[in-house]
Amino acid sequence: MVKLNELRDNPGANKPKKRVGRGPGSGMGKMGGRGIKGQKSRSGVAIKGFEGGQMPLYQRLPKRGFNKPNAKKYAVVNLGLIQKFIDDKKLDAGKINEDTLVSSGLVRRKLDGIRVLGKGELTAKATIEVTGASKGAIEAVEKAGGTLTVTAPAQDAPAAE
């Protein structure tokens, strides 16, 4: 049985801090392992990505594309998971909307809305109302005898002047 007072680190797991510039006997005295002269021997130097005056790699590589700064981010749900939650009685197939998907635990948070994708199979006759859906998802829900309504995302109200 292990006692608390007998707990120890594995040998070599803890090393003492290297104290530089503390005399020749330490092996790291005088210049503290920095060598002689030069930019890296001096204090206050941080050379991240510097290649000695050569054009750095991150500047040599081509930049392509564009990242939209105000792009909408949707929470994604597949039809197979919706069917699984209906089978487990966590969702009511009669009325599924974004709030019920969040409260059931299928989606963590709405973000800019919830988008339904057609992966998996839906057999229940479900009425789903979400911000977005793929064509395949809409066809699969209608094939099962249900309806999938895509609503416009709720816009933030403009500030009153």
| 65-69, 82-86, 141-145, 150-154, range with the lowest pLDDT | 150-154
Mind listing the pLDDT tens digit for each residue in 51-98?
A: 888 999 999 999 999 999 999 999 999 999 999 999 998 888 888 899
In this structure, is residue 88 part of a structural domain?
A: yes
| 64-68, 91-95, 109-113, 132-136, range with the lowest pLDDT | 91-95
- CATH number of residue 134's parent domain: 3.100.10.10
pLDDT band at 156 (very low <50, low <70, confident <90, very high): low
In this structure, is residue 109 part of a structural domain?
A: yes
What domain range is 99 assigned to?
A: 75-150
One-character DSSP codes across 31-52: TTT--SSSGGGSSS---SS-BT
Domain tally, the chain: 1
Beta strands in 24-113 (DSSP E): 75-78, 96-97
